[in-house]
Amino acid sequence: MPRKPLIAGNWKMNVNHIESVGLVQKLAWALTDLKFDPKKAECLVIPPFTDLRTVQIVIEGDRLPISWGAQDVSEHQNGAYTGDVSADMLVKLGCTYVVIGHSERRQYHNESDRTVNEKSRLALDKALTPIICVGEGLGVRRAGEHVEFTLDQVRGALEDIAADAAAKIVIAYEPVWAIGTGEVATPDDAQEVCGAIREELRTRYGDDVADAVRILYGGSVKASGIVALMVKDDVDGVLVGGASLDPQEFALITRFYESPNS
Ligand code: PEP
């Protein structure tokens, strides 16, 4: 089965729940204007926790062709974990995806590969699709160790995850030096690491899993560069930060398959 491209917009800590109504509606209008076909790509928004109920109501109420997910999840089922949000709570809010191990969580909240693995296993148990983020910093890239570094993160994230569950995972390769900096990895850079991740999946789980898992690229993605990325064999979509706050720009990225040169 061909992999359906996934275009995911991570709003990060931007947009309050009142503003989220306008952002989702403007995105939906832009998608309609561009004749977006949800059979050709999946459009996903990833708002802050506090917006999720509002976003759910707007999307479900207007039957918009947009999925929604969360930016993080607790590694614990429930209990005395002040400030955490559980997988069950996200499922109740209609979330189908959750970002795990974003570089900002790894950097500012000291999340390790082990935490990423625990969160991913719990998400999978609850039928939430984890979008597992991996990627190297500038020092590692300059040392030429980016592929091995990233594959180590992938291996850590996948520990004790069986093949049938692994097939449902999404992996996002996000070189840290390209996030929010305006520095975009070249399409060949993205393909090099996304291809290596797929080969790692093939070695670990076999062809069926390797061919099913969607691998995204993320890092300063804009509409102007989307086609060159999406033509790469192992790039199945993008995780977009800044540009996802501009509904017109994000809609253009989502409808990449109709862009000139595609
Ligand atoms: C991100 O937050 O995952 C990201 C890729 O951000 P940006 O597109 O702003 O670089």
| pLDDT reported for residue 261 | 56
CA distances from 79 to 169, 182, 211 (A): 26, 40, 38
pTM given for the model: 0.96
> What CA–CA distances, in Å, run from 110 to 121, 132, 176, 179?
19, 16, 15, 18
The verdict on the CB of residue 48 being under 6 Å from ligand 1 is no
pLDDT at res. 113: 97
**Crossing angle, helix 17-33 and helix 247-254, to 10 degrees?**
50
Is any atom of ligand 1 closer than 6 Å to the C-beta of 135? Answer: no
H/E stretch holding 26 reads helix 17-33
Please name the residue that has the structure tokens 């992999």.
3
**3-class state of residue 38 by DSSP:** coil
Residue nearest to atom 2 of ligand 1 (CA): 241
Strand 67-70, strand 129-134: pairing? unpaired
**Catalytic position from the list 104, 111, 136, 174:** 174
pLDDT of residue 183: 78
DSSP 181-219: SS-PPPHHHHHHHHHHHHHHHHHHH-HHHHHH-EEEEES
76 flagged as catalytic: no
pLDDT of residue 259: 72
Q: Confirm or reject: Cβ of 239 under 6 Å from ligand 1.
A: yes
For residue 258, what pLDDT is reported? 85
70's tokens:
């969360």
10-residue averages of pLDDT along the chain (262 residues): 94 98 98 96 98 98 98 97 98 98 96 98 98 96 96 98 97 93 89 98 98 97 96 98 98 89 56
Task: Check residue 180 and give its pLDDT.
Answer: 82
